[in-house]
Structure 1
C-alpha cells in the first residue's frame, strides 16, 4: 500500500507538468499582416513626323533641297539618345555607273533647332555625304554646342524636337552623266535609347 501511494504521488506532479507543457503550446497570441506592391514598366514610343523626309524628282548636279521634320517622344519615359542609322539603295537606270551615287549626295546639315542657341547652330551632321554617313552614328537629340540657350540633350516624354536638313546633289565640275535617270532610296532609322537607371521615389 505504501508503494502504491508513493508511485501515485510521484506520477501526479509528472502528469501535471505534462498537462502544463501540452497546454502551454497553445497559450500565446498571434496576428498576421499582408504586404503587396506593383511594378509597371514605362513605354518607349519614338515617331518621325512626317515619315517621308524627302521625295524629289528631276534633280541635277548643283541642286539642293531643304526639309523639316519632327522627332516626337510619345511614350512615358524620357529618351536619352536618338541614334541615326543611315543607309541607302541606288537604282542604276542604265547599268553604267562606275561610282556610287551616294558619294554625290551630301547632307549639308542636319540641325536640331530645339537645341540651337542664339549664336550657334546645333548641327548633328555637317557637310557629310550619304556614303560617309553610313559609317557614322550621330545622336540626333544631343546638344553639341556649349551655349546656355536652347534645350539640353535628350528628348523628354511628351515633347518633340524640330529638325532642319539640307541635301545637295553635289556638282563636282566633272562629267556626272552616268547618274542620269538614276534613283537613290534613303533610309534613316532613328533608334531611341534610355538613360541610366535612377532612384524613384
Structure 2
C-alpha cells in the first residue's frame, strides 16, 4: 500500500473516532455535595503522681516501709488494663553474696484502695516480680477518678546471719504499661 493511501486511511479512521465521541455525549441533570471528614486518633496517657515511689536507706532485716501512689488516666482513651513490669539490679558491695539474691528477701505487697477498702493485688518476693508483668488495674476509663495504691516492702529476716548483704544496694525499676481498650467493630461517636 502506498503512502498516499495509508495517509487517507489514517485520516478517515481519526474522523470516524471523533464522530463517535461527539455522537456519544448526552445531557442529564446532575447535583453533587461534598463532605469534609476527619479521623483523629485518641491519646493513651497514664499518669502517676511520683517519679520515685520508694527510697530506703540503712535497711536491716525486719524493716518494713509503706508508700502510697496514685494513677490517673490523663488521656482521651479508656484503659483496658495497667501492667506492672519489674526489673532490678543488685550491687554486691563486698562481692560476698555467693549467689544469694537480696531480692529473695524483699517481700512486696501491693494494695489497691477501692471504696475505702484495701484490696491485695499481690504479695510476692521481689525476685518473683521480675519474671512476668502483673495486671494491677483493669477498666480505667478516661476522665475517671484517681486510683490509689499502697505498696509495702519488707526486708525479710531469715532468722540466720544475713551479714553478707551489709552495704549492698538494690535498684528497682518499675514500668507501668497502659493497654488501650479493645477496638469497637462498629464505632459510634459518643
Q: TM-score, normalised by structure 1?
A: 0.76
Structure 2 counterpart of 1:158? 143
> SS state of the match for residue 60, structure 1?
coil
Q: What is the CA-CA distance between 1:38 and the residue it aligns to?
A: 0.6
> SS state of the match for residue 58, structure 2?
coil
> SS state of the match for residue 132, structure 1?
helix
Q: What is the CA-CA distance between 1:123 and the residue it aligns to?
A: 1.4
> SS state of the match for residue 94, structure 1?
coil
> SS state of the match for residue 140, structure 1?
strand
**Which 4+ residue blocks in structure 1 deviate beyond 4 angstroms?**
none
Q: Deviations over 1:55-79 (max 9, x none)?
A: 0111100000000001121111111
Structure 2 counterpart of 1:91? 91
Find out whether 1:132 has 2:117 as its counterpart: no
Structure 1 counterpart of 2:158? 172
Aligned residues: 165
> SS state of the match for residue 103, structure 1?
helix
Q: Deviations over 1:73-120 (max 9, x none)?
A: 11111111011111111011111112011111110x201113x675xx
Structure 2 counterpart of 1:102? 103
> SS state of the match for residue 53, structure 2?
coil
* Aligned pairs for 1:1-201 within 5 A: 22=23, 25-98=25-98, 99-107=100-108, 109-114=109-114, 121-126=118-123, 128-141=124-137, 153-159=138-144, 160-198=146-184, 199-201=187-189
From the two aligned structures, give the one with the greater strand fraction. 2
CA RMSD of aligned residues (A): 2.0
Q: Deviations over 1:130-161 (max 9, x none)?
A: 101111322111xxxxxxxxxxx321113321
Q: TM-score, normalised by structure 2?
A: 0.80
Partners of 2:42 and 2:135 lie apart in 1 by 22
Partners of 2:45 and 2:27 lie apart in 1 by 60
> SS state of the match for residue 135, structure 2?
coil
Partners of 1:100 and 1:130 lie apart in 2 by 10
Partners of 1:103 and 1:25 lie apart in 2 by 86
> SS state of the match for residue 80, structure 1?
strand
Partners of 1:137 and 1:124 lie apart in 2 by 13
Partners of 1:43 and 1:122 lie apart in 2 by 29
C-alpha contact 2:83 2:176 (8 A) present in aligned 1: yes
Structure number with greater Rg is: 1
Structure 1 counterpart of 2:3? none
Q: What is the CA-CA distance between 1:28 and the residue it aligns to?
A: 2.3
